Each structure stands twice: as C-alpha cells, then as structure tokens.
Amino acid sequence: MGLFLAAGLLACGEAPHDFTLTDHNGQRFELASLRDTTVLVFFGYSTCPDVCPTTLSKLSAVSRRLGDARTGLKTLYITVDPERDTPEVLKADLALFTLDALGLTGTREEVDAVAAQFGAEYRIVPTPGSAGQYSVSHTTDLYLLDGQGRLQRTFPYEATVEEIVEGIRGVAGG
C-alpha cells in the first residue's frame, strides 16, 4: 500500500479508453455500455469520513434538481479502496443515497488503470490504532462525460449543486 500518482489527465473532448470493472451487484461493467448516456465519474471509498458522503449527498440533490432529466444521467462511484470495497459494501453504501449510481470495484491494477486515465490520484494513509488501519487521501473532482463518452467538464469538490446541474444540462441538452 502506498501512493498512486496518475500518469495523465484527459483533456476536454477526449474519451477514456473503455474499461471493465465489477459493479455493486457483482456484475461486470463496461464503460461502453453507457454510450448515449451522460455520465458523472468520481473516485472515493465507502469508509471515507467526509468527502465521499458529502459528494454522494450533493449528487442526490443534483438528481432531485434535474427532475425528469435525470433519466439520462448515470453516476459511477469508483472505489480507490478495492481491498475493502467489495460489491456488497458498495451496494450498502449507495443504498444510503437517492441516486442512480453504480459502485465499481476491481483489482488494484484495474482500479489504478481507470484512475490513471482520469488523472485521479490517491494515497494510502496508515492510521495505526484505528479500526480501519488506514484511510485514503484521494482526488475529489467529478468528471462529466457526454453520450459519446468524451470528457466535457471537471467539477471541483467545491462546485455547488446548481453549478453541477447547469453543467449537466449544458452537456445533456436538458
């Protein structure tokens, strides 16, 4: 366990290579299956004490604000802690939020390959004496992909619900 620094960052208009991970239902998921869908991608983990639950709550509010337009939106919550975040754990975590999202996990190598495409970084932080033994410091950006799978916008953690909604509407046309 240690440090993962991403090799590169997608530029706006570029599409990540298709990838395959395991979803929170234990099924294989391929990014290509979401063509014609607007996609929000973020990296996190289920035992995150602050950023991840705040982001999931914010995305639930985005979904409510989009109303009927949310049917063309899918959120991908990709774990940076695949050792602990099994499909069952991700499913339980997502059940706490009102959001059309897939929790995705895989081997460390699979997750690292996807993170590298987005330029997402994380670092395992040992926390001796704690129940979890470590936490994960990670990129907190949201990545917005259009229906062709191309990156159209990146939202910082500080983006408001309204800013995210407007960004999605600008890409999805709703």
Predicted confidence (pLDDT) per residue in 41-78, tens digit: 999 999 998 999 999 999 999 999 998 888 889 999 99
Kindly state the average pLDDT of the residues 141-155. Answer: 93
Cα–Cα distances in angstroms (integers) from residue 107 to residues 23, 60, 80, 86, in the given order: 12, 28, 10, 10
CB 79: neighbour CB atoms within 10 A?
Answer: 29
Residue 8: pLDDT band by 50, 70, 90 thresholds? low
The pLDDT, as a whole number, for residue 7 is: 44
Q: Report the number of distinct structural domains present in the chain.
A: 1
User: pLDDT at residue 115 above 80?
Assistant: yes
Note the pLDDT of residue 16. 75
For residues 48 and 82, the answer to whether their CB atoms sit within 8 Å is no
| CATH number, domain with residue 132 | 3.40.30.10
- The residue type of 76 is L
Residue 90 belongs to domain spanning = 3-172
The reported pTM is: 0.90
